[in-house]
Structure 1
Amino acid sequence: MRDPYAVLGVKRDAGQEEIRAAWRVLAKSVHPDQNQDDPFATVRFTEAGRAYDLLRDPERRSRYDRAHRDAEVRREMELRRMEQMRRQQTARKAQPEPAAAATESAEDMVSRIFGVDARQQPSGKAANPSPSAQPAAPAPRQAAAKTQPEPAADEPEAKPVAPRRTVAAADIFTGIIRRIRGSRAAIEKAPDLACDVTVTVSDLLKQARMPLEVNGETLRVHLAPGTTEGTAVRLREQGHRINDLKRGDAVVTVRLAPGPFRVDGFDLRTALPVTIEDAVLGCETSIEGPDGETLTVTVPAWTSSDQVIRLEGLGLFDAEGGRGHILVETRLQLWDKPDAKMIDLMRSLREGLYL
């Protein structure tokens, strides 16, 4: 959901009267009856209703404001951390690269990161054996070594330059895993892959199998009974691949696409605009259901705005085989043009004059 303040066009310190007035103006301008040629009018009207529902409730508004401030602080800290990392990377690039890096392998690089010499033997042998343990070299060999001429002091010693080898990221990651496995408990499984899939209410009701493209592969996410907004579906062995490790899982979070219905657990909420005449006298109207079917809604007489009309057993399926409900929230709307008789009636009621 977008920022409700931005949706209604009000400041963050706006009072309830200002928020209510902004909602009335916006709802009238984006009402589907006034924008029949716009296919997204219903989406905008629903979005405006959700924003008003949040901001008119002091407790929900306070929680949203706190979460927004915390998100801004985290975003600022993340930007600072990224800036610091960028500066460190720029400083490292400016420094001359050591010659040893030209022939550095993945294991050498991991050992340097962990502060351990990669040339140490992992079999438990002493890295620096004592002089007494070293076998003595044969005497003729020692004599031959002494007779070899030493290089001149002014003659530079020739150092072989090995060609640079690019180390693959997968090799580095595998080396890190091996290093961890050597020092800690063995890791048998690669990390899980976290991703999202966007669905509609109709997809949830049909319990569809949604395709999801991940790393060049097409995964199928089954929207089983009990799946709703925010549900995490785990796909076994569909995640990351790493050498010598069992393939990780794919953890797919279900996200609901914007539409006339919003999910509240297993219930579906939608807004129904009613005129003053229908609110006072009552009426029978209809709405379009999640699958495009026509649903009859009976508005009782003397219905106020934001009153909830429940349509039993037409919501989402839960894991136990039951279903939620469709909750129709009434929204009181004025006519497009001022009505003189209605104005006179309201004035007479307010001022105590009866015609």
Structure 2
Amino acid sequence: MRDPYTVLGVRRNAGADEIKTAWRNVAKAVHPDHNRDDPNAAARFAEAGRAYEVLKDPKLRNRYDYARREADLRRMEEMKRKSREQARDTVDPETAEEMISRIFGAETRPQAKPQPIPKAASVQPQAEVKADPKPETRIEPGVAAEPETAEQKPEAKPEVEKRYGPFGILPRAAAPAAELVSAIVRRIRGAQKPADKVPDIFSEATVTIADILRREKATATLPDGQTLKVALPPGTVDGSVIRLKEQGYRLNGMIRGDLIVHVRIAADETFRPNGIDLHTTLPINIQDAVLGCEMRVDTPTGATSITIPAWSGSDQAIRLEGHGLPDADGGRGALVVELRLMLWEKPDERITDLMRARRDGLVL
């Protein structure tokens, strides 16, 4: 994957809004529907989606930035090390398994240092006993080894060819073709990855409290301007996320993406949502607050009567169960009635005298 900052064309200190705007612009510019003559449009669109997935998540973004810095440091250290060891760099013989491991980037087993190929003239009878202890080449005790002559050199040459395989590789590196093919198949099967998924589509849908109560479908607007009706499941609240599997863009050779809808509840003059509960305000005067009374209050399904306890203040709330939003279990939340102490529109002389008497300590 390329640098996500480069893919979206943003700075490394870009904010979330700037990254989101850049992704939308890039997605519209490289979308396959708008670039039917470009065979690489789908790949570029998927690359932009993967870059946005990394940069929009603060944890993934921080992890990528840290990994990039560490990779740059390791790359610099590796370049310094290679420059120091370039003069003594050697190539060790390898087996078929080690060859495939190196090609596919897997770890290899420790390799033994290669032994120099001895010349035919330097092959001694004692060395032949260690390399190939066959009866016909074993030296009997007490018999001194005789130096080789020019006539004996052709006999030592086949021994060298026997000990070292074709291309000067030791016998352990000259693996049979079956072992080589088997190693390749094992590596390919282990390296297979599932098909890439088309990036998900993010959208918002604004609904009212009445829409949720009536189970109306919400309208989601896609980035390309298309609209889609989305059913609201029970338990939908302000900020709910609805994921519609495989309802996103469809591209050949890739897994279809999802549609992710963020639900927002529109502002209401009477009710304020808080999860599955609804809050409303009920104004009361001093007389009703002190003495208590019966009052009518509006609910999402109609008006109902409530009892205001005596000596109620503005810091008190009355909770009416079953008058809120539906939950996922088939029940409903509560309607929380918040009391607000209000004065009459015109001053009342009796109330004024009473408050003055309490303040000044007078007895009426």
TM-score (ref. length: structure 1): 0.49
Higher Cα Rg: structure 1 or 2? 2
